[in-house]
A and B are shown apart, each in its own frame.
Chain A
Amino acid sequence: MALDSKIPKGPLKDKWTDYKNHINLVNPANKRNIDIIVVGTGLAGGSASATLAELGYNVKAFAYQDSPRRAHSIAAQGGINAAKNYQGDGDSNYRLFYDTVKGGDYRSREANVYRLAEVSGNIIDQCVAQGVPFARDYGGLLDNRSFGGVLVSRTFYAKGQTGQQLLLGAYSAMNRQIARGKIEMFNRHEMLDVVKIDGKARGIIARNLITGEIERHSAHAVVIATGGYGNVYFLSTNAMGSNATAAWKIHKKGAYFANPCYTQIHPTCIPRSGDYQSKLTLMSESLRNDGRIWVPAKLEDAKAIQQGKLKPTEIAEADRDYYLERRYPAFGNLVPRDVASRAAKERCDAGYGVNATGEAVYLDFASAIERYGKEQAKIHNIANPSAEKIYELGQAIVEAKYGNLFQMYEKIVDQNPYKTPMMIYPATHYTMGGVWVDYNLMTTVEGLYCIGEANFSDHGANRLGASALMQGLADGYFVLPYTIGDYLSHDIRTGKIPTDTPEFDAVEKEVKDRIDFFINNKGTKSVDYFHKKLGKVMWDKVGMSRNAQGLTEAMAEIKAIREEFWKEVKVPGNANELNPELEKAGRVADFLELGELFAKDALNRAESCGGHFREESVELDGEQEGEAKRDDVNYAYVAAWEYKGEPADAVLHKEELEFKDIELKQRSYK
């Protein structure tokens, strides 16, 4: 099947307006007869559920947690972008669009990104109206800060808990619709497959996680909003339950999976401390507004630090290498995430890492504390303040901005980051790849939509900070509610979709057979054993830097792990009860297939772009020497994979990316 992105004709800035003016609408009386299933209730699914219900559709929302408020969107810290230009520093829709396309290394779809920038301002208005307590200045107006990859302050924030507040805002909008009976909420339910009738998505099979009951749910359209697949690495910043099952199952039922190899490696995570570790914790990128990143300039100092013989505070200013400021003077510590991550790895690989494993760099707030302290002393008219006083005043400012992050760091690492620099290292964070969707956010299966992190469209090969929340809410509040109406306008005479059909029978049987297999398999190894094994191959060979040989090996190794999994996996307990091991088994089975497609996609893409650093593709000379080298002649396309059984047999479809409003050129942050 050929890919049709359905991008509207006309000038970029008019596309979305024209589109909205010409689509079909559903009359309010008919909306009452139409059911929509939304799977996942984080920022994207939650905002979509609330808005679709508000419009009058009957929404059935599914979450694996006990409440939508637990979705992992809640963990996003730094902020949400919007081109409001409240700061008057030159921001505009075009500039937000431009920064996002450039930040994504020119691998996203222009029309989608422009629409995202266009609705960004609305998101802030909407959230404020819902009571989201964004940070304010003393005049009572909204405050902004800056993030990596941009030169303006367009990031709105609520302390270091922006994701939490936006999610609670979306959940409050859901609460209103739950109270009205327009959203039927299925908590502690997991979607295990999609049901198609006459080629259209018409329902799902879900498991009640408390009773184990397998349920059939029908609808006129199905929306997948289940987030990313970063847990394919086992260790990531994702929540433990974040999984790829819904996205993978729809892939197996005909939805193409796009750019699986685009994973963001976030530069500021707390380093791993041992093999028992269950997950990684992110430190917000906003810290790079004030924190300076460095490693020792001398190798012997680095060695002494690794052995615990020297403290960071004992290293003189002249003996520190602020490598981001050195290499990228224009953006400094605020280069995009992929650039910062690669630079950290480069220094650590060269032996300059600052913890026992040699996999950490410093994020230092000493100069920010001093700078703020001096400013505060002036504001408060303190003449000749002592160093201690300056420190005290400065610390208070840093605490007001990032207090909860510092506390979180101290609890995990057991060091006070006000006194000694934080240690950070890159880790898997957000996935830019995902289910392929057209401009309407519809997958290659009719009536099946995919929004938020679970789709691929807006971030290209690298996501800039504070843009995930923006995309989730844009899709859910403002884009999908229009596009899905156009589709559903053809369904007003369909009537209720029955669930006692051969199609539901068949998919339910597939789901039950798989569960029965797990419960009855007499294996010897736990699910986590396989997940960790997969994660190691992914990180070593399909991680921050990759080469053809490693990727070929990874594909074979993942296949072997998968074969062993199906022979040796052991799942205790029963199917008809709350059984977390059974839940994990199904999810890891899907990761074991997705991981191989991920490696295959990475092997196919013989260029460096975004966080995907291909060792064979490096700038050899000139101003950008040593930087990642993109190949626009051969790879300016979206790789959309069609399922054909084994992941290795997946068929590649290319959506050529057209850049009409932005010149395709080499990225430079120098």
Chain B
Amino acid sequence: MNLTLRIWRQKDSNAKGQMVDYKVTDISEHMSFLEMMDVLNEQLVNSGEEPVAFDHDCREGICGMCSLYINGEAHGPDRGVTTCQLHMRMFKDGDTITIEPWRAAAFPVIKDLIVDRMAFERIQHAGGYISVNTSGNTQDANSLPISKIAADEAMDAATCIGCGACVATCKNSSAMLFVGAKVSQYALLPQGQVEAAERVKNMVAQMDLEGFGNCTNTGACEVECPKGISLDNIARMNRELMKAALK
């Protein structure tokens, strides 16, 4: 395949960015999207230009590091995948592909296609944990039975990889799917219930402080989430917050 890539280039967080066009040739349909970016970068290095900076690491869809807004969609046209799992078979010879960084005020651009997602981390520092000593003197794991349904639901919420696609695709740049998933994991389990009210209040307060918008139930986040995190988690977070307020 021969393709035209229209890519956002921005030297650093203070610089003004712009779209730049590049051509790549001989792209195999079996390549992943990021391998196609590797081809472009190899070409740029060889011609003495600076390669395009983009975030990536595990390249198997689990670390949540890769991002990219591709042709107006978070993680591109395929469903249920991260950009590293997106394959070039989703594109056609001669296509022009537009590649941009995540778009949200709370995710400032660091360089080219790389954004700063530290806001997510600060929300987790605000309460994303159970206050248990890491000493190994806890009770036997089977002394606290947990229903399979609750454990499975908690697992579904905990599957969130923190990639930020939900924020990037939301017209309000809301982080509620991410925060909802984090709150839900703990809300569904018996451990850590004593601090549940404090947890949800602190995490939501931090989310607001970071400048994320509100949820208007459009559901775009759920559609673009590579891990299929459901909107139920937002509802559960709201219920938890309500419960906490009434305490």
Closest 3 pairs (CB-CB, A-B): A140-B145, A172-B129, A128-B141
Name the distance in Å between B156's Cβ and chain A's nearest Cβ: 9
Interface string of A95-132 (1 = CB under 8 A from B): 00000000000000000000000010011111111110
B144 lies within 8 A of A172 (CB): no
Q: Are B35 and A173 closer than 8 Å at their CB atoms?
A: no
Contact B62 A276 (CB under 8 A): no
Contact call B151/A136, Cβ cutoff below 8 A: yes
> Given contacts A129-B191, A140-B145, is CB(A477)–CB(B124) below 8 Å?
no
Complex alpha-carbon distance, A577 and B154, angstroms: 40
Within the complex, what minimum Cβ distance (angstroms) separates B129 from chain A? Answer: 4
**One of B30, B56, B110, B116 near A274 (C-beta < 8 A):** B30
Q: Are B57 and A239 in contact (CB under 8 A)?
A: yes
Chain B residues whose CB sits within 8 angstroms of the CB of A74 once the complex forms: 58, 62-63
| Contact between B125 and A125, CB atoms less than 8 A apart | no
Q: How far is the CA of A119 from the CA of B136 in the complex (A)?
A: 9
B129 to chain A: which residues have CB within 8 Å? 130, 172-173, 175-176, 179
Provide the bound-state CA to CA distance between A577 and B81, in Å.
31
C-alpha spacing A30/B189, complex, angstroms: 37
Query: A72 contacts which chain B residues (CB < 8 A)?
Result: 57-58, 63
Return chain B residues, CB-CB under 8 Å to A477: 134, 136
14 sample A-B contacts, Cβ–Cβ < 8 Å, listed by A number: A67-B121, A75-B62, A125-B139, A131-B191, A140-B145, A140-B151, A172-B128, A173-B129, A175-B124, A179-B129, A187-B118, A240-B59, A273-B30, A412-B85
A210 to B63, CA, bound (A): 20
Minimum Cβ distance to chain B for residue A255 (Å): 26
**Which of B49, B53, B118, B133 lies in contact with A578, CB distance below 8 A?**
B53
List A contacts of B127 (CB < 8 A): 179
Contact at A414–B62, with CB atoms within 8 Å? no
Besides the contacts A50-B134, A165-B158, A572-B50, what 14 more A-B pairs have beta carbons closer than 8 Å? Answer: A51-B134, A65-B57, A70-B58, A74-B63, A129-B130, A130-B191, A134-B141, A135-B155, A239-B63, A411-B81, A412-B87, A573-B50, A578-B110, A580-B53
Contacting B at CB under 8 A, from A174-192, are 175-176, 178-179, 187
Whether B189 and A133, one on each chain, are in contact in the complex, defined by CB atoms closer than 8 angstroms, is: yes
Q: A277-285, A299-307, A386-394, A610-618: which one contacts chain B?
A: A277-285
The answer to whether A179 touches B63 (Cβ under 8 A) is no
A136 touches B147 (CB 8 A): yes
A161 an interface residue at 8 Å Cβ cutoff? yes
Q: Is A279 a contact partner of B118 (Cβ separation < 8 A)? A: no
Contact A572 B120 (CB under 8 A): no
A69 at the interface (CB under 8 A from B): yes
The A15-62 residues at the B interface (CB cut-off 8 A) are 47, 50-51, 54
Q: How far is B155's CA from A172's CA once the two chains are assembled, in angstroms?
A: 15
Per a CB cutoff under 8 Å, which of B39, B51, B110, B152 touches A581? B51
Indicate if the CB atoms of B61 and A136 lie closer than 8 Å: no
**Nearest Cβ in chain B — how far from A536, in angstroms?**
16
Q: Does A466 contact B (CB under 8 A)?
A: no
Q: Do B28 and A276 have beta carbons less than 8 Å apart?
A: yes
A75 to B65, CA, bound (A): 12
Which B residues from 42 to 82 make CB contacts under 8 A with A?
42, 44-46, 48-51, 53, 55-65, 78, 80-81
* Complex-state Cα separation, A165 to B35, whole angstroms: 28
Candidates A125, A165, A273, A274; contact of B141 at CB < 8 Å: A125
* Contact between A47 and B134, CB atoms less than 8 A apart: yes
The docked-state distance in angstroms from the alpha carbon of A187 to that of B192 is 27
A77 nearest in chain B by CB position: B62
Task: Flag if B28 contacts A122 (CB, 8 Å).
Answer: no
* Smallest beta-carbon distance A121→chain B, Å: 8
Q: Is B159 an interface residue (CB 8 A)?
A: yes
- Judge if A399 is at the interface, Cβ distance under 8 Å: no
A interface residue count range (under 10 / 10 to 19 / 20 to 34 / 35 or more): 35 or more
Residue of A164, A278, A526, A573 ringed by the most chain B CB atoms within 10 A? A278
The answer, among B116, B126, B145, B159, for a CB contact under 8 Å with A66, is B116
B138 interface residue (CB < 8 Å to A): yes
Contact of A130 with B130 in the complex, beta carbons under 8 Å: yes
Contact partner, B189, options A119, A131, A138, Cβ 8 Å: A131
A178 CA to B59 CA in the complex, in Å?
28
Which B residues lie within 8 Å of A281 (CB)? 59-60
Residues of A within 8 A of B136 (CB): 119, 122-123, 125-126, 477-478
Per DSSP, chain B at the interface is loop
Contact A278 B134 (CB under 8 A): no
Q: Which listed residue (B57, B87, B111, B130) contacts A172, Cβ 8 A?
A: B130
Specify which of A173, A175, A179, A407 is in contact with B134 (CB 8 Å cutoff). Answer: A173
State the Cβ distance, B124 to closest chain A Cβ, in Å. 5
> Residues of B with Cβ closer than 8 Å to A?
11-12, 28, 30-32, 34-35, 38-39, 42, 44-46, 48-51, 53, 55-65, 78, 80-81, 85, 87, 89, 110-111, 114, 116-118, 120-121, 124-136, 138-142, 144-148, 151-152, 154-155, 158-159, 161-162, 185-186, 189, 191-192
Q: Is A639 an interface residue (CB 8 A)?
A: no
Q: B192 to chain A: which residues have CB within 8 Å?
A: 131
> A535 to B245, alpha carbons, bound, how many Å?
58
* Contact among B34, B78, B132 for A278, CB-based, below 8 A: B34
User: Which of chain B's residues has its CB closest to A123's CB?
Assistant: B136
Task: Chain A residues near B162: list those with CB within 8 A.
Answer: 67, 69
In the assembled complex, the Cα of A176 lies from the Cα of B134 at a distance in Å of 11
Q: Are A70 and B146 in contact (CB under 8 A)?
A: no
Q: Please pick, from B31, B45, B85, B139, the residue contacting A411 in the complex, using a CB distance under 8 A.
A: B85
Q: Are B87 and A572 in contact (CB under 8 A)?
A: no
**In contact, A131 and B186 (Cβ under 8 angstroms):** yes
Q: How far apart sit A572 and B132, CA to CA, in the bound complex (Å)?
A: 47
Min distance, Cβ B133 to any Cβ of chain A, angstroms:
6
| Most A C-beta atoms less than 10 A away, residue of B53, B63, B117, B132 | B63
Residue numbers in B under 8 Å from A577 (CB-CB):
11-12, 111
How close is B115's CB to chain A, nearest CB, in angstroms? 9
Q: A69-B64, A173-B134 are in contact. Are A75 and B51 (CB under 8 A)?
A: no
Quick check: B135 and A128 within 8 Å, CB to CB?
Answer: no
Contact with B along A54-93 (1 / 0, CB 8 A): 1000000000011101111011000000001010000000
CB-contacts of A517-537 with B (<8 A): 526, 528
Contacts of A502 in B (CB 8 A): none
A179 near B186: Cβ-Cβ < 8 Å: no
Contacts of B12 in A (CB 8 A): 577-578
What residues of A have a CB within 8 angstroms of the CB of B87 in the complex? 411-412, 414
Q: Are A126 and B189 in contact (CB under 8 A)?
A: no
Bitwise interface map of A from 124 to 166 toward B, beta carbon under 8 Å scored 1, else 0:
1111111101111111111000000000000000110100110
Name the distance in Å between A319's Cβ and chain B's nearest Cβ. 29
Taking CB atoms, residues of chain B closer than 8 Å to A528 are 38, 42
Set B48, B134, B159, B186: member contacting A572, Cβ < 8 A: B48
Question: Does B117 contact A66, Cβ atoms closer than 8 Å?
Answer: yes
In the bound complex, CA of A529 to CA of B87 (Å): 23
Which A residue's beta carbon lies closest to that of B186? A131
Q: Are A240 and B57 in contact (CB under 8 A)?
A: yes
Contact B151 A168 (CB under 8 A): no
Contacts of A572 in B (CB 8 A): 44-45, 48-51
**Chain A's nearest CB lies how many Å from the CB of B241?**
19
A570 within 8 A of B: yes
From A122, A133, A279, A580, give the contact of B151 (CB < 8 A).
A133
A231 CB to nearest chain B CB (Å): 12
Most chain A CB within 10 A, of B34, B35, B63, B141, is at: B141
Closest chain A CB from B68 CB (angstroms): 15
